[in-house]
Structures are given as structure tokens and as C-alpha cells.
Structure 1
Amino acid sequence: MAKLDWITEELNELKEKGLYVKIRVLQSAQGPWVVVDGKKVLNMCSNNYLGLAAHPKIKEAAIRAILDYGVGAGAVRTIAGTMELHVELEEKLAKFKKREAAILFQSGYNANLGAISTLIKKGEDGVFVSEELNHASIIDGMRLSGAPKVIYKHLDMEDLKKKLEEVKDKKKKLIVTDGVFSMDGDLAPLPEIAELAEQYDAMVYVDDAHGEGVLGEHGRGIVDHFKLHNRVDFEMGTLSKAFGVIGGYVAGPEEAIDYLRQRGRPFLFSSALNPPDVAAAIASVEILQKSDELVKKLWDNTHFLQKGLRDLGYDLGNTKHPITPVMLYDEKLAQEFSRRLYDEYNIFAQAIVYPTVPLGTARIRLEPSAAHTKEDLQYVIDAFEDLGKKTGFLK
């Protein structure tokens, strides 16, 4: 047996179980309609919530930054990589989020790795109190830290209280949760979390990757949605979803953010975000500061799509967000739905299967955007009705 034969065996097993993911290749800009593998399709699985990824003002800002600052940052932030653009974006993000300060990272994933592993470290008298369905980047941040963790059940505040009681004598306690859970579209009960955190003298860290540009006034996120600005310590946001660019950041108290600048490993050991990306992100923040028109259009489209699918009899779970999980439960059926939507209806909508979600909870995750038209979304509803009947899923 050759030393890498096990890889072939693993891949074959994934294919047999319906768990192998076919990676589609886009040949156009992100938008409501895209070219994938030479075929024009309706894009229903992008995180480009506000349609900003190809917005003219965003593109112009990136081009202008290349002319003024070049393509690359050239160094890590602490040596020679901090440009005035980085400082400007951090200041604009802090103001947008109504926080004292913000620190940029190369991605939302890196932001979680850098911040979480820094706030509590191995050997300290500290513990993470982590939501059961937290994103992989949160889990990896805790692993990198090496500090102990306890897990509380999804959205279960009684269990959170129980876990906090168990670790109440720890000097440092950090409650970590997604704000919006990306596979289901349900929201963390932040008011109750904040109340328990105050009761047990714990810090609160929220990953708001899917709340940015979607929830709150002008898309300021879940903390703004619940009006908890002074009761949540740290907000992680990503610039790669609603903002349409790349990068991540953490916003919070000035001293805490300064501490992350001194100790956050991705900030210290990986090159800074490139100038065109930073300038594009600045333009995105400015668009949202100026107007909430795109946020309102996103929600209008969301309500239209979700009502249409529910009226057909589809289970969309507990979503309170544009994330629209169309529950099909069976892994092979979900893969068939995705393939046939693409082949027969020119709809690009990927199946979400184990291990991304638990076995038996396979789904098609649809994500409407502000750039979709009502005609686009009605076409999706009609396709799900037709295919649901063809497969026997809808009676």
C-alpha cells in the first residue's frame, strides 16, 4: 500500500456518503447573477449581502489606493506595515460600531484567532465559556490559547448560568458566542447573556460576522440591534461579507484593543492588509454610514423569499436573518437538490451537509442580497416548488 492511498480511500468514502463537496469556480464578479464554469447562474449562496463586492464606489476606491499606495503593505503592522489607510479604517470602524477603538486583522478568522487566544492564555486563572454552535475560528482560537473551556447548550441561558456558576471563582471568564449562527440564521440572546455576564463578572465576546451590514441601525450589527453597546466587551466583525471586501477586526475598549496590538499573533506575525482592500473597506463603511437603503432592501428581499418558501411547506428552522436554511435533512437529497438546481434551473445554491452541520440536518442554505430583484427571488421560489414535487419532497 502506497503511503498516500489512505487519502484516496477517505475521498471515496466522502463521495459514497454524499459528503463530498464539488467546488464551483466563478468566472465573473460577485453579484446576483454570476458565471460559473462557463454558465450564467443565479447566485443564491454568497455572503455578499448588500451587493457591495462589485459596487462602483468600492472598485474606484481600491483602484485609487493602488495608484497612491501600491498593491502590498510590505510588512507586519508593528514594523513598517501600518499605513495611514489602516489607521483611518480602524477609526471609522470604531465610530461606526460606537466603540472606543478597533484593530484590523487579515480576516475574520484571524481576528478570532488573534483576539481569543490573547484574552485568556494557558496557565492563567481563566476559562472560556463557549456556545455549543460557535464558528470554527472561535474553536481554533480557544485551542490556540490552550486555556480551559466549558461549553453551554445552544441558546440555552439556563445552561449558561449553570456553567458560569461552575467557574465563578475563576479570575478571568470570557463568554464567547456567535451573534448570528451561520448555518441556521438564529440569533444569540445577547440581552440575557449580558445580564448573566454582569452577574458573574464575566467578559462578553461576540463574533458578529453575519450581523455586520445586516442587523442594527445602518447595519451596525447585533450589539446595536439589541442596544447593548456598553454591556458587550468585544465585537468581532468581518469585512468579507456584507462589506464586500476582505479582512476582520475587533472593536472594544481602547486599552483592551491596545493590548491586542501588543499581543495578537496574526497582527504581530502576518503582513498587514493590502492598501486596495483597506481603501475599499473604508468606502463600504462610508456607504453604510450615509444610508441604510441597502440594508432595508436586503430585508425586504429576505421577507419575500422566506414567505414564499414557507408557503410551499418548506421548513426554514428558526432563522431571524437573511440566512435561509431550506431543510431537506437527508445528505444525498440535499446534494441532489443542489446539483439539479444548478443543472436544470441555473440556480447556484450549495448543499450544506455533515460535518458542517450534524448528520440528518442537511439543507440548501439560500442567501438573498440587496442586489437581487423580486423576479430573481420568485424564480427561486418557483424552482423549489417544481423540484420539490419532482423529488417527492413536497406532496
Structure 2
Amino acid sequence: MESLIRQSTKVCPFVNKISQSASAASALRGSANISALAKRCPVMGTAVGSARHFATAGGNAATAAKVSSEQAHDAGLQSGLVGEHATQESTFDYDGVFENDIAKKRLDKSYRYFNNINRLANQFPLAHRDVEDDKVTVWCSNDYLALSKNQEVIDVMKKTLDKYGAGAGGTRNIAGHNRHSMKLEAELAALHKKEGALVFSSCYVANDAVISLLGQKLKNLVIFSDELNHASMIVGIKHANTTKHIFRHNDLAHLEELLKMYPKSTPKLIAFESVYSMAGSVSDIDKICDLAEKYGALTFLDEVHAVGLYGPHGAGVAEHCDFELHRRSGIATPIDPQTKKEIRTTMGRVDMITGTLGKSFGTVGGYVAASKNLIDWFRSFAPGFIFTTCLPPAVMAGASEAIRYQRTHLNLRQDQQKHTNYVKDGLKELGIPVIPNPSHIVPVLIGNADLAKKASDMLMEKHKIYVQAINFPTVARGTERLRITPTPGHTNDLSDILLNAMEDVFNELQLPRIADWERQGGFLGVGDKNFVAEPNLWTKEQLMLSDTELNPNIRDPVIENLDVSSGIMKF
């Protein structure tokens, strides 16, 4: 003991200090006093207290020793008393991991190259590359209605930028709530005929924030997700940290099998999309709502690739399901003339609808539209909303204008559909394989990552046409494709140039055509003799309507701000 005390006085300032008096040194020799004295030590005091707590509460001496050791070590580092014991080891090879992962992506042909594409507002659909004289025609943008270059949208954004500046100043909770966010949310709620809406920085964030919050706050929630759901929904489900089931794409029989596994009283969420962007397939929203009601589930519908493109007012596929009802009622909710009661529409049946401002509406951002209670709940609890900087005022003002503009211009949706049909028919005549679907997406099947990249490069370099190759992980390996998305500006003359270029590329690279896939028994509906194609969502009658046949109440409607955007006052 005497030897231990002498050594301690050399290395421990506390022991050295108290050992200067004979009584203190004597006190150290009594084991009963050691713990009492240790409490006075700035290093051991915290550790001893914690050790006693853990040993008493859990009876686990090993845990107590571990905790006290760790806390003593931390305190020792702060006081400079504990040495660095790992200085002789080699540093982890971080760069090696990064380089190895990138090398694997290059090897399996899934490595991504981004083209320098600068879309020209006054020459849409043209863009220039690195050099402004090097121009290409863009055929794969998600700016589906070309509203990003719409002059009325741009003028509103310019005026707002001059008056209110470039940024919102922070999160809405602190500095960002303003008239532009309130107006935008009111416009979105009116578009989807919901009680409320909430704007996020992107729909990726909206999907993640909403789904994860539901899983974290609804105890024992079970989530049912379509296997082709977007990455943002998949991430939200992972963050929900709850039970999940993945049902086969658009397979409602499989979905019902899974739903049957749980009592109706168990909270459930069915998450799905209206238009699946890489295949162009479309979900049966009404039948999914039927299952949701039968088994007691909430419905979460992603309309990202449908807003602006479907329905008489561009609210998406859910609105398109009751096209005539909504066309006649305009901005108002459809009312039964006999009973004077609200008609329950497909859009009204869906609990949550998410969408984007960055595709058909030409700006950036995402949103969710739902009941007042749900929106207030998301606004109050979703970290993805609370802690994210508000969109810039000019962006929100531009998005509001785009929503109002496209609502009254049915012809934009019709032209987009007509140009899509022209391209699909032309490719079919050439024997070029397009994955069949009833929507506006034109996925040209290649089936090989390396060839898809070569086809994209050849279109760009030889024909001055930009169509991006789509590969893993966006689509499954072996299903690589070129994804073409016509807009109202892709007129038939431009489409003919594209068709000639595609014919040249398929000949040059010897890419498989419809007949080749047919000899293999068909794939993804291409060359499959037993495949039954779905009819286009837009009927011939709908494509013949004019803007004047829309309800006049959609033109410059006065839409009141929503209480829930600011917070519902309680008196």
C-alpha cells in the first residue's frame, strides 16, 4: 500500500495534493475510506457514482465496471492523464473502400456519367452542352409541361425575387413563414380538394418525413409497399422502423393476402404510386382504396409523375378516375344534385397524396395534401419539415402560378399525350421495343447496361439528341432502358427526327427488337403474345375537349389561406 501511495503521488495531482498532509496519506491506507475520497477526485468522482448506480439498479458488476472505466477514461482524456494507446496502429483505409466501391460500379456498367445539359428557356426543347454553340434536343426531361420556361411563371418569379430577395431566411419555424408558402399550400389543397397541404424542400423529403413519422408515432403500424415504389418511399419505410411487407407490383391479390394476416384493429398503411416513372405502369387506385377500407388501412399515394398530366385540372390519376365529375364541378368538390351531398370521389378516398413542384410545375419542392388534422400533425412533428429551410419566396410564387396556369390549360395535357402516342406508334412501326404502359412514359427496352450507355452516347454525339440511359439501381439489372418523355413542345417534326435516329442506333449497335424478344418468349410485356395491354388513361373523347369546356370557376379563383399553414389557434 505504501508503495502504491508513493507511486500515485507522482502521477496523480489529486493524490499528490492530499498526501501532502500526514492525516490524508493515512486516510488513503484504509480501504473503507478510498471510495469516499475517490468521490472528491475530479477524474474518479463521476465514475464511482455511476458505478454504484448501475451495480445497485441492475446488480451487474461487469456493466458497472465497464461504465466507470469508460467515464474515467473520458474524464482522463479531458485532464490529460490518459495516454493515446492506438498511436502505433495504421489508419483505416478510407480511400481504399471508396475506390473499391467505385471500381465495382464501373465493372458492372452501373457507374453514372452526368451530361452537361443547359436547357434554353427561349429555345425549348433545345439545350447547349459545354459550348453554347453545341446544341442538342432534350427528350428525357421531367419538365413534362415545359412550365419552367413559361413566361407568366418566370415573370412572377422575377417580381417576387426583386421584392423579397433570394432566400426565405431559414426554417418556417424560425424565419421562413410567409405569404408565399401560405398561398402555395392553399393552391395545392384546392388542386387535390383536400383540407390542407404542407410544402417540403422536395418530394423525396416529403415522402421520407411523412412515412417515417407515421411509423414512429403509430404504435405497431404495419406498412404495405409496392415493390416498385420510389427510393424516397423505401427510405421512409426504413426510417419508420416498423413491420413492413412488400407486395408484387400492382398485384392486388398479393396485397390482400398480406393484409389478411393482421386484425382490422392493427394500424396499417398502404404506400403506392399512381404512375411508376421508369415503367410507366399505373396503379388501380380505387381497388387499393377498397382494400384499405376493408382491412382498416390508411392510403399513401405518390402522384409525383402524374400531377399536371392527368385529370381535367392536373391533379393526377386520382382526379382522372372521375374525370367528368371534376371537369363539371371545376375547383369545387362534386355535389350530387339530387341529395345535395358531397360525392365521394377516388381523390377524396385517398388519405394522403404527395407530389412534386419540380416536374410538371416547373420549379422545385414537394408537398403532401391531406385532412386538416393530418397536415397539422405533420407540421407539428415531422423533423423533415420542422428543421428544413423554407423554399425561396420566388420559387413558391412561381409554383403557385404554374399550378394556376396549368389548371386552365387542358390543351397542355392533351398535347403531351398526343405527342407521346405519336412516338410510341412510330417506335412500334420500326419494331423498336417499348415496355407497354397506359401512361406518358416511353421506356425503350435495351436489357444491357453497356449497350444502353452506348445507345445514349450515340444519340448524343451523332444525332444531337439527349436521352439518358437508365440502369441499376434505378431499374433492375437486365432491364436497362432509354426513357423518353415527350412534352407539348415535342412536335411531330421533332419526333420524326428522333425516330430516324433511334432506327440508326438500333441498326448500328444491333440492339434487340420486338421480334428478338418474342423469340425469347417475351420480356416485361415486350414480345409477349399473352400480354394484354391496358388502354391509355386518356380516352379519345377526353383528348377532344377544349379549354372552354372546363368549368369557368377555375379561372382566377379566390383561394383563401389555410389556418393549418400557420397553426390552428385555440381559444
Q: Distance in 2 between matches of 1:252 and 1:122?
A: 17
Amino acid at match of 1:67: D
Q: Which residue of 1 aligns with 2:416?
A: 298
Q: Which residue of 2 aligns with 1:23?
A: 114
Query: Of 153, 163, 177, which residue of structure 1 is paired with 2:258?
Result: 163
Q: Which residue of 2 aligns with 1:312?
A: 430
Q: Distance in 2 between matches of 1:270 and 1:241?
A: 21
Instruction: Determine what percentage of the aligned residue pairs are the same residue.
Output: 32
Amino acid at match of 2:431: G
Q: Distance in 2 between matches of 1:254 and 1:176?
A: 20
1:245 Cα deviation from its structure 2 partner: 0.3
CA contact 2:193–2:348 (8 Å) conserved in 1: no
Report SS of the residue matched to 2:170. Answer: coil
1:77-98 per-position Cα deviation (integer Å, ceiling 9, x unaligned):
1222110111011111111111
Q: Which residue of 2 aligns with 1:118?
A: 213
Q: Which residue of 2 aligns with 1:132?
A: 227
Q: Which residue of 1 aligns with 2:464?
A: 346
1:392 Cα deviation from its structure 2 partner: 1.7
Q: Distance in 1 between matches of 2:196 and 2:445?
A: 40
Q: Distance in 2 between matches of 1:394 and 1:357?
A: 18
1:150-190 per-position Cα deviation (integer Å, ceiling 9, x unaligned):
11110100000001111335531110001111110110111
Q: Distance in 2 between matches of 1:303 and 1:70?
A: 42
Within 5 Å, which residues of 2 pair with 1:329-368? 329-368=447-486
Q: Which residue of 1 aligns with 2:137?
A: 42
Query: Of 236, 242, 250, which residue of structure 1 is paired with 2:360?
Result: 242
Give the structure-2-normalised TM-score. Answer: 0.67
Q: Distance in 1 between matches of 2:182 and 2:347?
A: 22
The reply on whether 1:323 has 2:441 as its aligned counterpart is: yes
Q: Which residue of 2 aligns with 1:33?
A: 126
Within 5 Å, which residues of 2 pair with 1:27-106? 27-29=118-120, 31-38=124-131, 39-106=134-201
Report SS of the residue matched to 1:150. Answer: strand
Q: Which residue of 1 aligns with 2:320?
A: 225
Query: Of 379, 383, 387, which residue of structure 1 is paired with 2:505?
Result: 387
Report SS of the residue matched to 1:219. Answer: coil
Report SS of the residue matched to 2:446. Answer: strand
1:114 Cα deviation from its structure 2 partner: 1.5
What is the RMSD computed on CA atoms of the aligned residues? Answer: 1.6
More relative contact order in 1 or in 2 (CA 8 Å, sep 6+)?
1
CA contact 1:122–1:147 (8 Å) conserved in 2: no
Q: Distance in 2 between matches of 1:133 and 1:119?
A: 21
CA contact 1:51–1:369 (8 Å) conserved in 2: yes
Give the structure-1-normalised TM-score. Answer: 0.96
Q: Distance in 2 between matches of 1:279 and 1:120?
A: 33
1:205-262 per-position Cα deviation (integer Å, ceiling 9, x unaligned):
0011001111111221011012302211110010000001001110111111111110
CA contact 2:157–2:398 (8 Å) conserved in 1: yes
Amino acid at match of 1:63: K
Paired residues, what number?
A: 395
CA contact 1:122–1:146 (8 Å) conserved in 2: no
Amino acid at match of 1:326: V
Q: Distance in 2 between matches of 1:122 and 1:285?
A: 33
1:295-340 per-position Cα deviation (integer Å, ceiling 9, x unaligned):
1111111111111111111222132222111001111111110111
Q: Distance in 2 between matches of 1:21 and 1:80?
A: 38
Q: Which residue of 1 aligns with 2:369?
A: 251
Within 5 Å, which residues of 2 pair with 1:191-230? 191-227=286-322, 228-230=346-348
Q: Which residue of 2 aligns with 1:14?
A: 105
CA contact 2:311–2:320 (8 Å) conserved in 1: yes
CA contact 1:172–1:202 (8 Å) conserved in 2: yes
Change (3 A) 1:48 1:35: same
Amino acid at match of 2:287: E
Report SS of the residue matched to 2:348. Answer: coil
Report SS of the residue matched to 1:103. Answer: strand
1:28 Cα deviation from its structure 2 partner: 3.9
1:116 Cα deviation from its structure 2 partner: 1.0
Change (3 A) 1:394 1:125: closer
CA contact 1:114–1:266 (8 Å) conserved in 2: yes
1:43-80 per-position Cα deviation (integer Å, ceiling 9, x unaligned):
01110000111111111111111122211111211222
Report SS of the residue matched to 2:350. Answer: coil
Report SS of the residue matched to 1:151. Answer: strand
1:13 Cα deviation from its structure 2 partner: 2.8
Query: Of 237, 240, 257, which residue of structure 2 is paired with 1:145?
Result: 240
Q: Distance in 2 between matches of 1:134 and 1:254?
A: 26
Q: Distance in 2 between matches of 1:123 and 1:99?
A: 22
Q: Distance in 1 between matches of 2:178 and 2:266?
A: 37
Q: Distance in 1 between matches of 2:474 and 2:204?
A: 16
